[in-house]
Chain A
Amino acid sequence: MRKYLTRRGDGGRIEMEADEIIRDIEQGTQDAAERGKIARLSKSDTEHLMDIFTNPNRIVGVEPGREVVLTDDIGPFRLIIDQGNSAVGISLGNVQAIQIHERGYGMDTTTFAHFDASFKAVKPVLANVLQEFENALLNTIIPIYFCCMPNLGAYYMPDGPFPNPSDLMPIGKIKEALESQEKTVERATNDMIYISEALASIGCDGVNFDTVGAAGDGDFLATLRAVEHVKKNTNLSVQVGMASEFVLGLHGGLEYSGKRLAGMYPHQQVKVVEKAGADIFGPVVNTKSTKSVPWNLARAVTFCKACSEASNIPVHPNVGMGVGGVPMFETPPPDVVCRVSKALVEIGKADGL
């Protein structure tokens, strides 16, 4: 029986027979369907995915005419820094690195950010960030998002002013833990609005609220409230990119527009993001490193297809290390990255990546 080269979710190379690939695709789509209570991939989708994995060529791509817009959440930093985030540490300024993305790599859009890409960390150095961003806007043709994380974790002790729910809950102080999260939501929302309005004043193209929900449902709620304000009061474009496929209920009772946020999957997340007024939504589907890429990608495509079908705004699934079917590895091998790209566009109905 012929064997096909593919990868595990940790990036390691494996060989699989056609029957084994089909089995993993079936199990991956079933897992997504059960968790999200959404439709499994159809027979034709499964066959299409099978064709992608059994294509003998190292590199594959979408059919001509089916290309999509690429946005990102790191931009120049993938060249400039290296703090364990897979960047390469070249001595460059932000504006130079952005021009390399535009003119060297042919990126459709790019990103400007602060080294510590959390709204809380940006606030004290906002003027300096704006000065350099103004230069980037004047010298660049492609749209530039300001990318930043709500990161509610940074507001809790010992890094921030509010009591840490993770300390309070184990000692039974549940009410105090909930109150602390509610106060943090308010503070984080205000910081996101303050910074976004400053960005609007220099002619910024848009804000990419990134890694949303990393600190649970409060993180998501603060972002939705900030997005709603920004869309009503500025001309900024807004992209919301998630941290994981499932909104953790660290509070559990928080709602937006009458919808409980805890437990939402991508096809539900996109509806509240849309309601808040965002222009683009970036769903995340986590990669399981012990499973194969066919299992992970079938799962990611199932979630993203349901999200895209539910959405009225463009959907750009996250496809970095450890999400969207891409292996959880610092330098993901191109042979599987390009298969993820093709599958999410052609089967997952992505408007961008």
Chain B
Amino acid sequence: MGMPMAHGLASGIGGIRTAGDLVAWMQMTRKMRINDAKAYVAAKLKVSPTDLSDPFVMRDVREELDIGIITAVPGCAKGIEARARIAELLGIEINCVTRLRKKMKF
């Protein structure tokens, strides 16, 4: 585990502690290079690109937007609930959310 942890601390954004998952979605779905992906997400969240890796800023932003937070607070969006809200916020298609929407049309 020392190797991934070392990379995470040295250069990782921080996953759902911050906005790492959100920047990753933009690389995965729009082929955005890192600076473009950060600028896009920062604009959507109304924060600066530097804030995206700051847990102090992102904790409140994520909680207010209800897009999933690192701690297990009851009632906050988790799993596919958070994914659905992230898809809406970022204007992207997340495949399992699309599938859920199709399943709900019965």
A residues with CB within 8 A of B: 59-62, 64-72, 78-79, 86, 88, 102-103, 105-109, 137-143, 200, 202-206, 235-237, 239, 279-280, 312-314, 319-321, 326, 331-334, 337-338, 341-342, 345, 350-353
Q: Which residues of A contact B80 (CB under 8 A)?
A: 137-139
What are 22 A-to-B residue pairs whose CB atoms are below 8 Å? A62-B10, A67-B13, A68-B34, A69-B24, A78-B1, A105-B4, A106-B8, A106-B18, A107-B15, A108-B23, A137-B80, A137-B96, A139-B80, A143-B28, A200-B95, A280-B31, A313-B31, A314-B37, A326-B3, A337-B7, A352-B24, A353-B7
Spell out B's residues near A (CB within 8 Å): 1-18, 20-21, 23-25, 27-29, 31-34, 37, 49-50, 52-53, 67-68, 70, 72, 78-80, 82-83, 86, 93-100
Docked-complex contact A312 and B31, CB < 8 angstroms: yes
Knowing A205-B94, A314-B32, say if A61 contacts B9 (CB, 8 Å). yes
B9–A141 touching, CB < 8 Å? no
| Known contacts A59-B10, A102-B15, A138-B80; is-contact A71 B86 (Cβ 8 Å) | no
Inter-chain contact A108/B13, CB cutoff 8 Å: yes
Partner pick for A141 among B1, B11, B21, B72, CB 8 A cutoff: B21
Q: Which residues on B sit within 8 Å (CB–CB) of A320?
A: 3
Question: A62, A69, A107, A331: which has the most chain B beta carbons within 10 Å?
Answer: A69
Given contacts A105-B4, A141-B16, contact A341 B95 (CB under 8 A): no
In the complex the two chains form, is B27's CB within 8 Å of A279's CB?
A: yes
Which residue in chain B gives the minimum CB-CB distance to A65? B50
Q: CB-CB < 8 A to B32: which residues of A? A: 314
* A40 nearest CB across to chain B (Å): 24
A314 adjacent to B21 (CB under 8 Å): no
CB distance from B59 to the nearest CB of A (A): 12
| Cβ–Cβ < 8 Å partners of B49 in chain A | 65
Chain B interface SS verdict (over half): helix
Residue of B nearest to A346 (CB): B11
> Given contacts A60-B10, A338-B6, A341-B7, is CB(A141)–CB(B82) below 8 Å?
yes
Question: Are B29 and A237 in contact (CB-based, < 8 A)?
Answer: yes
- Of B4, B9, B33, which is within 8 A of A78 by CB? B4
Contact A279 B31 (CB under 8 A): yes
Q: Once the chains are docked, how many angstroms separate the CA of A107 from the CA of B70?
A: 11
- Interfacial chain A residues near B72, Cβ < 8 Å: 103
**Given A106-B20, A351-B27: A332 and B2 within 8 A (CB)?**
yes
Closest chain B residue to A75, Cβ basis: B4
Across-interface contacts of A108 in B (CB, < 8 A): 12-15, 20-21, 23-24
Which chain B positions have C-beta within 8 A of A140?
79
Are B6's CB and A280's CB within 8 A? no
CB distance from A62 to the nearest CB of B (A): 5
With both beta carbons as reference points, the residue of chain A lying nearest to B98 in the complex is identified as A203
**Which residues on A sit within 8 Å (CB–CB) of B15?**
102, 105-108, 142
